[in-house]
A and B are shown apart, each in its own frame.
Chain A
Amino acid sequence: MTRRPRTAALAAALLGSTVLTACSGGGGPAAGQPNAPTITTAVPAPARDVDTVTWNLASGEPTTLDPAQSALESVSTVVANLCEGLFTFGPDYQRKPALATSVDHPDPLTYVIHLRRGATFWDGRPVTPEDVVYSVRRILDPALGSPWIGWAANLRGIEPTGDDRVTIRLKKPDALVPNFFALPAFTVVQKAFAEKAGKGFGTAKGGVMCTGPYRVAGWTQGREITVTRNGTWWNTAARPRVKSLRFTFIADPAAQSAALNSGDVDGQFNVPRAAHAQLAGRGNLLFGRSLAPTFLAVVDSGGALSDPATRQAIQAVIDYKGVIRSVYRGTAQPLRALVPPAAWGYARDVYQGEYDRLPEPTQDLARAKDLVGRSARAKEKIVLAYTTAIEEETRTATAIADAAAKIGMRVELKPMTGERFAAVFGSPKGREGIDLLLSTGYLDSPEPLSYYQFFTTGNFYNFAGYRNKEYDTVIATAIGTEDPAARARLVVRAQSILARDLVTIPIATQYVNVYYGPRLAGVVPRQNYLYTPWAASLGGK
């Protein structure tokens, strides 16, 4: 038998991989005991320069470095250090000047943006109003397929109105628009370079031309992207301490853990939970509150979930305490509403008051059983889809299905690869046969309205086809309301309607985390690392 050695080797490999990995771990019994981590809001500034830092992108190699496509973690983590918008987010998400110094808002339909004088692209050419207008209009071209096109629903036009001035005019008041000034919707690229690069803009071959603290030095596809310090960055007060930053693309959690442990990689955002215990004792493993909710979304409102009692039963079977403690190992908090408290960027007292009024999420199997008994459709099959790319979601979905089975519900699990799961968000075809979706999303800015608007009639992300006139009216009014407190009061009304109708079932908000080795300092774990030049704060201890 010629195949014998192969079989024995494979069987031994299956076992061997288990043993070897086990031996490499520094676990022990204590590793199984999750402790709620401390939230870090500030760290000491770096004291010295560092020549090179290797930083891993947990979600793999970016498909592009075009800021117009900066809506994927892998792309945004790099682009945030290369390209800048008119404004940026400071700690706690307050808006800070970047390529613009200020904005006037003379009437509800007009924003006049004053550009920074002296800001230049990496090649030394000055940033002009034409570059700004070009960059914004470029994103509005449907042919580009930018995910940031949505901000402009109420845009009438954008024009250069002076040597250092750009004016934005709206068709009707839209309180969401100013948030986008600090997001990739308003990231500035050089017009001449982008036009010349054409479709190659942002690719490994075509490159990008921006103004940020780092510039692209090389992109070896499949291996690494190297960026170097931009010596002509306008922000001299925040001069980067790391001269060269090398991004690697290790996507496998076990390999990430090994690379971070060995020191081959110096740092990473979104460190796999399984590696926390080992890394906490090695370097800086820090946690911060995120704008990310994990929730169940009703996808098919015509099936078993058409009955509110069925949705309430699903909500009642979730073991929130178990999910937080076991699945997230204490690095999350249960959620009462879809938008997590960290995303209340204004009128926090209004949001807090309403949030406190919502019931605390707890598992109540007796109530769930009672609801199932009263529902005509609760015993119909419910297909719950989730992505196997996120191990925590596999475990959460498994626990929900088992708890549902205990009370007589039939929840069938539909595991999907990352690619197939992404298709769920792309078209109705990708959602065929799915009743319920376990997903983790995040808000780009601390504006709850930006998330709640997704559930208005006809919205692209309203997968369930939810229709509620009162909800639509409240959201539309909120979008047109500039006064923060008044807007918050409208948003919490919408939040109550959504919580009552259970179009989504919030589960938890996970902490954002970052790890960097013992010789480094400076990065605070904040979700806005996706859109702010986080590497400029990194340096040597």
Chain B
Amino acid sequence: MTLTIPALRARGAARRRPRRPLGLVLAAAFLSLVVLTAVLAPVLAPHSPEATDLLNSLAPPGTEGHWLGTDSTGRDVLSRLMHGARLSLLAPLGVVLLSGVLGTAVGLLAARAGGWVDAVLTRAMDIVFAFPSLLLAMLVVAVFGPGLAAPVCALAVAYTPFLGRVVRSMALQEGARPYMESYRVMGFGEWWVTLRHLLPNVAPVILAQGTLSFGYALVDLASLSYLGLGVRPPEADWGSMISQAQSAILQGQPWSGLIPGIAVLLTVVSVNVLGEHLSGSIARRQGETR
């Protein structure tokens, strides 16, 4: 009899653990696949993403040697999709990291410094917030020329208020809590307390916000590439693949644009699902602790 008790307990414990939603599992699986493909693209891709074959252009999916067909210059769509995943993921990651650092710094500074510093930073964030991010990126590209570095920096600046506002609001809430006052009474410096204790408490929110921003950045950068303002040819990213497929689409041969289009859509949806789940978990955990 004694042996059955732990077993029953274990079964009971398993029943209580919330099941992960199917959408979340699928999103995580898809993103893992995309990341893995991007990392292993040089090994997995059947062809060089830049190898042209004009006499074999616009071959349909299923053509021998080209599972997803070829584009208008005869480049293998699958290989370009795999290699394109690298820039399509890395560039938004750059935006998220940069805007994460900037937004956190601005938000914390505004909340903790208060007074005119807070007023100036908040107004500055309002101004940047009101400026369309894509337009800002296009202006920067117009000044510095095409390529990914300039739009990544521009989008990072444009995305800063999204995180900065949330961090400021969270920091103001946390700053009013008794534990912060205790540290001050104990003689710890304001910025030491902010970085050592306040920042870790707002970190999950930063992470959740960053995940969601990733999806936006991916679409914005894909749009820039679609407009011919992103990566330099012949490099591949999904946005430029869609753009280069325009004439093929008009000819009734949409696959070289449709396939990267589906990749963008599924990746953005997956990242959003993951980000929303993360936000929900944090909100629940915060609700439980308060």
Contacts and interface: CB of A to CB of B under 8 A. Distances in A.
B196 to A, nearest CB: 29
A39 interface: no
A114 B143 CA distance: 55
A10 interface: yes
A11 B264 contact: yes
Contact of B247 (A3, A10, A273): A273
B252 interface: yes
B268 A8 contact: yes
B73 interface: yes
A323 B57 CA distance: 11
Contact of B258 (A10, A19, A27, A394): A19
Nearest to B166: A1
Contacts of A8: 268-269, 272
A27 B53 CA distance: 22
Interface residues of A, number: 52
B215 interface: yes
B250 A257 contact: yes
A4 interface: yes
Interface residues of B, number: 52
A409 to B, nearest CB: 14
B251 A274 contact: yes
Contact of B265 (A3, A14, A399): A14
Interface stretch (A28-36, A183-191, A364-372, A424-432): A28-36
B85 interface: no
Interface string B204-221: 000000001001101110
B249 A22 contact: yes
Interface string B246-275: 111111111001100110110011001001
A272 interface: yes
Interface stretch (B28-36, B38-46, B228-236, B281-289): B228-236
A402 B52 contact: yes
A415 B247 contact: no
Contacts of B53: 322
B268 A322 contact: no
Contacts of A251: none
Contacts of A28: 252
A395 to B, nearest CB: 5
Interface in A285-342: 319, 321-323, 325-327
A401 B234 contact: yes
A423 interface: no
A275 B250 contact: yes
Contacts of B250: 21, 25, 253-254, 257, 272, 274-275, 278
A147 B254 CA distance: 42
23 contacts: A1-B276, A8-B269, A11-B269, A14-B226, A14-B261, A18-B242, A19-B254, A22-B254, A29-B60, A31-B252, A274-B250, A278-B252, A319-B55, A321-B55, A322-B54, A322-B74, A326-B57, A326-B72, A326-B74, A391-B246, A395-B54, A398-B73, A415-B233
Interface of B: 50-55, 57-58, 60, 72-74, 146, 162, 212, 215-216, 218-220, 222-223, 226, 228, 232-234, 239, 242, 244-254, 257-258, 261-262, 264-265, 268-269, 272, 275-276, 279
Q: Nearest 7 CB-CB pairs, A to B?
A: A27-B252, A322-B54, A22-B254, A25-B252, A274-B250, A274-B247, A15-B261
Interface of A: 1, 3-4, 6-8, 10-12, 14-15, 18-19, 21-22, 25-29, 31-32, 253-254, 257, 272-275, 277-278, 319, 321-323, 325-327, 388, 391, 394-395, 397-399, 401-403, 405, 413, 415, 417
